[in-house]
Each structure stands twice: as structure tokens, then as C-alpha cells.
Amino acid sequence: MNPGGDGIVNMVPAFGPAKNINSWEEFEKVFDSYKKKHKLMFRVRSSEKTAFYNSTHEDHIPTEFEWFQRIYRCTHGVSQVSRSKGHRNRSTRYCNCQARLYLAVRNHPHSHPTTGTKASSYLTTNTLPLDDQDPEDVKTFADARVSSSHITRL
């Protein structure tokens, strides 16, 4: 018998929450709802604690996250060695299912200064000093098809 070789294809929408998830508890709630809706069975197959990650890396993850990463696998894709000495009256769940979910907390630091002084030095359309004549000048330049490189030289 070839488990999973019977050609059955069961398409389930990929898990993708509609918003950012800010805690493992929030993730579990959203993921449990997804599993229940689509009648799926996943379990954690591997995980790494944030404390261990922080002790071995320079870029630290906030400690309010208990785990740095978790790997969930479909229970139909994990072969579990029997710990029983008896014989079961039902078949095993394994059918070589490849469904899995890799989750990791990421902490990407900025590659630039984030001081108030630096932020206030950025010119945007909201911070540019404009007078009442400027919008008319822009219209004139646009009508004349003046390139932006020529306008910036003015």
C-alpha cells in the first residue's frame, strides 16, 4: 500500500490572516478557527524559545513572545512510532501529507537614524513652504511639459 498515492487532492485555502498578529495567543486563536473551519489537524513539531534565541544571537526578539519560531505539521504527514505494545483496530493516520506552516518572530532594526531631529529634516509635500502662487506655477509647468529635472534646478 502506498499511503497518499490514491490521487486524492483536497484543496484548502492557504492560511493567511487578514491582519498582523501580535502574540502567540492571538495566532493560536486565529489558527484554531482556520483549522476548525477547514477540518484540519496540525500539531507543533518543532519550536525554539525566545530566551534561547536571544542568548545565541545579537539581534534580540522581544521577550513577550515565548517562542521565537514554531513549525506546525499536518498530523497526516507525520509518521509516529507506536509506543504501544498492543494492536489497534484502526489504521494509521499517516498518508504523506506535506502541509506545514513555518512561523518565526522577526525583528528587523532600522538601517538609519530614527531621531526626531532627523525626521523633522525630511521635506515632504506637507512640510514644504508653499505660497499661493506655487500651485499656479505647477499648472504652468505641467501645461508646458517641463521635465521634473528642470523644475528641481529652479
Q: Is the pLDDT of residue 70 over 70?
A: yes
Residue 35 in domain = yes
Q: What is the pTM of this model?
A: 0.56
Domain count, the chain: 2
Q: Are 61 and 107 in contact (CB under 8 A)?
A: yes
pLDDT of residue 36: 92
Determine the average pLDDT of the residues in 42-55: 85
Asked whether residue 39 falls in the same domain as residue 93, the answer is yes
Least confident interval from 3-17, 32-46, 69-83? 3-17
**Residue 116 scores a pLDDT above 50:** yes
Q: What length is written for the chain?
A: 154
Residue 4 lies in a domain: no
Q: What is the DSSP letter of 68?
A: E
Q: Does 4 have pLDDT greater than 60?
A: no
Q: Answer yes or no: do 33 and 67 share one domain.
A: yes
Choose among 56, 54, 75, 62: nearest CA to 24: 62
Q: What is the pLDDT of residue 115?
A: 79
Distance of CA 88 to the CA centre of its chain: 40
Together in a domain, 94 and 148: no
Distance CA 127, CA 125 (A): 6
Q: Are residues 52 and 73 in the same domain?
A: yes
Question: So what's the pLDDT on residue 49?
Answer: 87
* One domain, residues 100 and 123: no
* Range from 10-19, 38-47, 96-105, 118-127 carrying the lowest mean pLDDT: 118-127
- Is 40:34 a contact under the CB 8 Å cutoff? yes
Residue 128 is part of which domain span?
Answer: 116-152
**15 domain-assigned:** no
Query: Residue 102 gets which letter from DSSP?
Result: E
The answer to whether residue 134 sits within a structural domain is yes
Average pLDDT, the chain: 77
Of 67-71, 89-93, 107-111, minimum mean pLDDT range: 89-93
Q: Which of 22-26, 58-62, 90-94 has the lowest mean pLDDT?
A: 90-94
Q: Cα dihedral sign for 79, 81, 82, 88?
A: positive
